[in-house]
Amino acid sequence: MSAYRGLTLISWFFQSTIQVRILGNFIVFGHWTEQGIKKVSEAPTRIKKTRSMIEKAGGKMQLFYMAGKYDFVMTVEIPKDDDLMAILLCLGSMGNIRTTTMKAWTEAEGAKILTAPHP
């Protein structure tokens, strides 16, 4: 799926097409593994590397440390779902975290889906 969709703007002066970037939204809940908690002081460095990977894929993220059921939660916007999957699998394979990821839709995107005719 392309991260860009064309929009055609028509006025009585001219017609032009612009590219609009469409980003997928994700919520990523995370736990430190036994290995990850033993090296918790390295977490800020690992998070910077994660941010760099997501930005390299054209996305952006925000991380929140949590008190409760999860150790952290990230909100991620990224053009290609596959890129996020690859990044999270790479991070998980390092043995410091385990994640649960959910696809999210903005309020406007959700309203469009909810009010569309059924297929």
Q: Is the pLDDT of residue 2 over 50?
A: no
In a domain, residue 55? The reply is: yes
To the nearest whole number, what is the mean pLDDT of the chain?
Answer: 87
Alpha helices in 66-106 (DSSP H): 81-93
C-alpha span between 94 and 29 (Å, rounded): 17
105 domain-assigned: yes
The whole-number average pLDDT for the span 61-89 is: 96
Residue 72: inside a domain: yes
Q: For residues 8 and 61, which has the higher predicted lDDT (pLDDT)?
A: 61
Percentage with pLDDT > 70 across the chain: 82
Residue ranges making up the domain that contains 39: 4-11+23-115
d(CA 72, CA 65): 4
What's 84's domain CATH number?
3.30.70.920
* 50 is a domain residue: yes
Q: What is the pLDDT of residues 93-111, one digit of tens each?
A: 999 999 999 999 999 999 9
Q: Is residue 18 part of a domain?
A: no
Total tally of structural domains belonging to the chain: 1
Which amino acid is located at 29 in the chain?
Answer: F
Residue 44 lies in a domain: yes
In a domain, 17, yes or no: no
pTM check: above 0.95: no
Q: Report the C-alpha gap between 118 and 110 in whole angstroms.
A: 14
Q: Is residue 58 part of a domain?
A: yes
Residue 20: per-residue pLDDT? 52
- The span from the CA of 34 to the CA of 27, in Å, is 23
The C-alpha R_g of the chain, in whole angstroms, comes to 18
pLDDT of residue 112: 92
